Amino acid sequence: MQHVTLNNGVEMPILGFGVYQIPPEQTQQAVADALTAGYRLLDTAAAYGNEEAVGAAIKASAIPREDLFVTTKLWVQDAPAEGNTRQALETSLAKLGLDHVDLYLMHQPYGDVYGQWRAMEAANREGLAKAIGVANFYPDRLLDLILNNEITPAVNQVETHPFFQRTADHALMREHGVRHQSWGGFAEGKNGLFTHPALTEIGTAYDKSAAQVVLRWLIQRDIVTIPKSVRPERMAQNLDVFDFQLTDDQMAQIAALDTGETLFFDHHDPEMVDWLSKRRLDS
């Protein structure tokens, strides 16, 4: 497995396993299968409702804790955000059955962002989170957070796939030492990604699928990715992307697919901001 080094020296696998939209009752088995396949980066969130199942799979695996990289995420917290953020992290740790996470992300750029970030900085200093970062931050919000706080986010996890490539975002993250991480790398199959002619044609040259081409493309852009699947054979296939290299021409062909627009939801849309900001999780 290829690793990347975060801005605080923490090592992170470049390819991991995500559990977004996996029902809690299926998550433990899915994570167990992923660990058996060889994944060591696991990505969950309080908002996914499956942290306990991820923790149960980790416990049952008997894999040494130091060999795992576990990410979870903080949902938008009510004011005062600092105390509620600490409580939310402790709740996540209890559900995961862990004494620390390797990466703790602010899931949305809303609410008392500064209060949440100060509490996350404190958790990082105490060792409850080896690294801290954000998700869904556009360049303006990310730069504002960087310029006005002590700790620069180690990671920004954002929608990134062949149809929304985030080239300018990537450049800003690289400039400031923030690791770009992709969610939705397969665009959930939208725009016919799994059978897209350009991707399948490239894959034919290496006896790889369109999905494997996408993962290889992300890795060659130095982007951490966390594909999801509940099928063991697909999990294994998603890991099998380190034995080929896309050419510059092939990378350019994929670059040409960029529309520059989200396929899911716009964090600048007032209705979406209102919905995300008001959503609260059950404890």
pLDDT digit string, tens, across residues 187-218:
999 999 999 999 999 999 999 999 999 999 99
Placement of tokens 């199959």 in the chain: 189
Is position 163 within any domain?
A: yes
Answer yes or no: are the C-beta atoms of 96 and 264 closer than 8 Å: no
Is position 281 within any domain?
A: no
CATH number at residue 42: 3.20.20.100
Given a cut of 80, whether residue 219 has pLDDT beyond it is yes
Q: State which residues form the domain around 97.
A: 3-275
Q: What percent of the chain has pLDDT over 90?
A: 91
Is position 280 within any domain?
A: no
| Rounded Cα–Cα distance for residues 82 and 102 (Å) | 20
Which of 39, 48, 104, 110 is catalytic? The answer is 48
Name the region of 166 (left: φ>0; alpha: ψ -120 to 50; beta: rest): left
Is position 258 within any domain?
A: yes
pLDDT of residue 277: 87
pLDDT digit string, tens, across residues 8-19:
999 999 999 999
Using DSSP bridges, classify how beta strands 69-74 and 41-43 pair: parallel, antiparallel or unpaired: parallel
Is position 22 within any domain?
A: yes
Is position 175 within any domain?
A: yes
pLDDT digit string, tens, across residues 225-239:
999 999 999 999 999
Strands (E), the chain: 3-5, 11-13, 17-18, 41-43, 69-74, 103-106, 132-135, 155-159, 179-183, 224-225
What's the total number of domains in the chain? 1
pLDDT digit string, tens, across residues 237-270:
999 999 999 999 999 999 999 999 999 988 989 9
Is 104 among the residues known to form the active site? Answer: no
Is position 217 within any domain?
A: yes
The CA-based angle 13-19-175, given to 5 degrees, is 45
pLDDT digit string, tens, across residues 51-99:
999 999 999 998 999 999 999 999 998 767 888 999 999 999 999 999 9
pLDDT of residue 283: 55
Is position 69 within any domain?
A: yes
- The letter for the amino acid at 247 is T
Average pLDDT, the chain: 95
